[in-house]
């Protein structure tokens, strides 16, 4: 068999409507061993044999053929019945990274085994591509000077918040922001500190260690890039005023 490169997505999601019971689900991507599959129902991982088995057919009468698509069948008592709002069944593939066949350095060899090995390589590449596509990444054109995506050590990040410095590199802070009150010039601010711009009442979070200078508002301050808008108080106030005016108009008719 060969793997269809144009349809090699090792992931599919099904929705089971509330109150509906379903036991069989199609696996539209090729898999080699039953252990290649991951099965989740509403975010809970299910166990092969205990909760489900595999087959070549919807009737669960033919064992799954290695390297083909197929079905999973939930065992008796483990069928999926949609909860309130519906249930989600997710099937993914995770082929074990290993080589199970050696070929002779000369003479004839098993072509079928070679094809299976090559198919597995393509499947593994697709599995890795799926995993990478669901990870946090930076754009290809992000060339920020001094950028490092290495996380602080486990000992340094335990019980702390993940934040980013002025270069966009990950750092840890002890909380969501040490509130320093009204912004003022000549003050040393650290990453994660929060300050209030008294001209707008907006709250900003400091993203670069520095000693402040210049004047308000922070949007035009000489070091404006060192501050990231955290809470847009002025917009919240406007929304609340408009909402109150609307309610008053309704009451007054």
Residue 191, Cβ density class (10 Å: 0-12 exposed, 13-18 middle, ≥19 buried) = buried
In the chain, CATH 2.10.10 covers 175-236
The token pair that represents 126 in the structure block: 């697709």
Terminal C-alpha separation, the chain: 73
User: Which pLDDT value is given to residue 21?
Assistant: 97
User: Which pLDDT value is given to residue 197?
Assistant: 95
pTM tops 0.75:
no
Close Cβ partners of 250 (under 8 Å, ≥ 6 residues apart): none
The label of the residue with tokens 């070549």 reads 56
* Whether residue 58 has pLDDT greater than 60: yes
The token pair that represents 135 in the structure block: 């990870």
Measured CA to CA in angstroms, residue 206 lies from 142, 165, 251 at distances of 21, 9, 43
User: Which pLDDT value is given to residue 51?
Assistant: 98
pLDDT digits (tens, 9 = 90+) for 36-53: 999 999 999 999 999 999
Q: Contact 79/22 with Cβ under 8 angstroms?
A: yes
Before 217, cis peptide (omega within 30)?
Answer: yes
Q: Contact 72/22 with Cβ under 8 angstroms?
A: no
- Confidence band, pLDDT 50/70/90 cuts, at residue 100: confident
175-236, CATH topology level: Seminal Fluid Protein  PDC-109 (Domain B) (2.10.10)
pLDDT digits (tens, 9 = 90+) for 196-205: 999 999 999 8
* Whether residue 131 has pLDDT greater than 80: yes
User: Which pLDDT value is given to residue 57?
Assistant: 96
């Amino acid at each position: 068999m060969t793997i269809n490169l144009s349809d090699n997505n090792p992931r599919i999601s099904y929705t089971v409507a509330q109150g509906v019971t379903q036991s069989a689900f199609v696996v539209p991507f090729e898999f080699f061993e039953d252990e290649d599959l991951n099965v989740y129902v509403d975010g809970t991982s299910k166990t092969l044999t205990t909760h489900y088995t595999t087959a070549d057919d919807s009737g669960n009468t033919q064992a799954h053929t290695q390297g083909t698509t197929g079905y999973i069948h939930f065992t008796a008592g483990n069928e999926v019945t949609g909860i309130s709002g519906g249930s989600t069944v997710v099937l993914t593939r995770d082929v074990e990274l290993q080589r199970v066949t050696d070929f002779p350095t000369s003479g004839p060899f098993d072509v079928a085994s070679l094809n299976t090995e090559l198919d597995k390589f393509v499947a593994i590449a697709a599995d890795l591509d799926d995993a990478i596509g669901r990870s946090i990444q930076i754009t290809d054109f992000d060339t920020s000077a001094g950028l490092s995506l290495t996380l602080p050590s486990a000992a340094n990040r335990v019980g702390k918040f993940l934040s980013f410095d002025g270069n966009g590199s990950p750092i840890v802070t002890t909380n969501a922001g040490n509130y320093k009150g009204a912004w003022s010039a000549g003050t040393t601010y650290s990453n994660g500190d929060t300050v209030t711009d008294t001209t707008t009442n907006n709250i900003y979070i400091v993203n670069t260690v520095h000693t402040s200078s210049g004047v308000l508002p922070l949007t035009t301050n000489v070091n404006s890039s060192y501050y990231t808008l955290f809470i847009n108080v002025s917009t919240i106030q406007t929304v609340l005023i408009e909402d109150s005016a609307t309610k008053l108009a309704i009451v007054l008719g």
